[in-house]
């Protein structure tokens, strides 16, 4: 039996690097040697919990989770019935397509492993091939950039719209990039960390707001002009607000700042907090929830390839797999890292 190393949750805020059986592909499967895998906020959530509740014991006993749902790698073995895929192909993965559960999110397999089994491998459904001109670490951004793309698609932003994105983490910055590539006239990014705001400008945002130091509504009025809500009260001319931060203060800032018929797209997971629903009436604010990537997982791949240098700026730390504990420690420490990608080289 061949074994491989795989990362899973250990105790609270700890990982375990374990030896597990290396998967053997069946006739419909492919085996991918992982070369890079990003760390996501969802991984951090699992680590804070120390695993996930077993279905039979919801709220009770925790079971370990195989981590990693942002993998990129190269095909090393292909089942006899798989079409359009061969050994040596570089691929990104749709973690939600796996029949044994979402890869790295409670499913049987995790992408933070030396090898990953792609069950029922199908190009355009479970994997997409990308050229060798794109580094594996940049390719691993495919999954989070699909999350960002879905939020932008849900916003239906057009060239004439004025948009603000709250949260300059990878999802927020990804949304800013997609908005600009979509031809949106003016995109602002708001955050409380100056280095993240610098990164937002570097990837193409038209302006930034430090919401810890500046009056958001007043600054948006300067940038987007003055409009009004349904009662005629003055409000910034911002058409679309995207919440990629998940803090209750963001939600309430939007409610207080929204003009008549503004839209709020919620892509971050909101923490519990008081929300002024009555305030939404004053602008007839439309709330749009954005979850995952129903169609976007490989819609983004060609543009990720084309604009790879722009997307590469999102990666703040590249850490070798042999130092996986340090990589997750960085991701667990608030403000220490923006986007950590674990690399598995020769």
Alpha-carbon torsion 29, 76, 127, 89, what sign? negative
For the domain bounded by 3-129+314-343, which CATH number is listed? 3.90.180.10
Start-to-end Cα distance in the chain: 22
- Measured in whole angstroms, the distance separating CA 244 from the mean position of its chain's CA atoms is 10
DSSP one-letter code for 169 = S
What's the confidence (pLDDT) of residue 274? Answer: 83
pLDDT the model gives residue 53: 77
Cα of 115 vs its chain's centroid, Å: 22
Residues of the chain with pLDDT under 70: 54-60, 346
Nearest alpha-carbon partner for 268 in 254, 280, 282: 254
> Would 3-129+314-343 and 145-289 be classified into the same CATH topology?
no
User: What pLDDT score does 59 carry?
Assistant: 56
- What are the domain boundaries of the chain? 3-129+314-343, 145-289
CATH 3.40.50.720 at 145-289, yes or no: yes
Mapped onto helix, strand or coil, the DSSP state of residue 301 is: helix
Q: What is the pTM of this model?
A: 0.96
Q: At what angle do helices 41-49 and 324-332 cross, to 10 degrees?
A: 90
Buried b (16+ CB within 10 A) or exposed e, 46-69: bbeebbbeeeeeeeeebebbbbbb
Q: In this predicted structure, what is the pLDDT of residue 273?
A: 78
Structure confidence at residue 159 (pLDDT): 97
Q: What's residue 272's pLDDT?
A: 80
Q: What is the pLDDT of residue 345?
A: 84
**CB distance 218 to 206 below 8 Å:** no
* pLDDT computed for residue 119 by the predictor: 98
Residue 67 three-state SS:
coil
């Amino acid at each position: 039996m061949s074994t491989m190393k795989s990362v899973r949750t250990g105790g609270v805020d700890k990982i375990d690097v374990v030896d597990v059986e290396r998967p053997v592909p069946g006739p419909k499967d492919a085996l991918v040697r992982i070369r890079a895998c990003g760390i996501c906020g969802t991984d951090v959530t699992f680590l804070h919990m120390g695993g996930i509740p077993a279905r039979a014991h919801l709220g009770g006993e925790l079971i370990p989770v195989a981590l990693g749902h942002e993998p990129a790698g190269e095909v090393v073995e292909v089942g006899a019935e798989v079409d359009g895929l061969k050994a040596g192909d570089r691929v990104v993965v749709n973690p939600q397509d796996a029949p044994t559960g979402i890869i790295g999110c409670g499913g049987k397999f995790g992408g933070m492993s030396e090898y990953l089994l792609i069950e029922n491998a199908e190009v355009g459904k479970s994997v997409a091939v990308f050229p060798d001109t794109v580094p594996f670490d940049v390719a691993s951004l495919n999954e989070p950039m699909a999350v960002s793309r879905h939020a932008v698609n849900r916003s239906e932003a057009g060239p004439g719209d004025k948009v603000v994105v709250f949260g300059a983490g990878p999802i927020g910055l990804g949304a800013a990039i997609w908005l600009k590539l979509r031809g949106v006239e003016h995109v602002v990014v708001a955050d409380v960390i100056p280095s993240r705001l610098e990164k937002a400008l570097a990837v193409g945002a038209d302006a930034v707001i430090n919401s810890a130091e500046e009056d958001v509504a007043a600054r948006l009025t300067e940038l987007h002009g003055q409009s009004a809500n349904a009662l005629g009260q003055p409000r910034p001319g911002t058409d679309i607000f995207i919440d990629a931060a998940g803090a209750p203060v963001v939600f309430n800032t939007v409610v207080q700042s929204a003009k008549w018929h503004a839209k709020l797209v919620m892509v971050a997971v909101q923490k519990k907090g008081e929300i002024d629903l009555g305030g939404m009436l004053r602008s007839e604010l439309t709330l749009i929830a954005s979850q995952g990537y129903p169609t976007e997982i490989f819609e983004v791949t060609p543009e990720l390839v084309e604009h790879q240098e722009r997307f590469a700026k999102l990666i703040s730390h590249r850490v070798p797999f042999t130092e996986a504990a340090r990589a997750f420690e960085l991701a667990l420490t608030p403000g220490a890292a923006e986007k950590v990608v674990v690399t598995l080289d020769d």
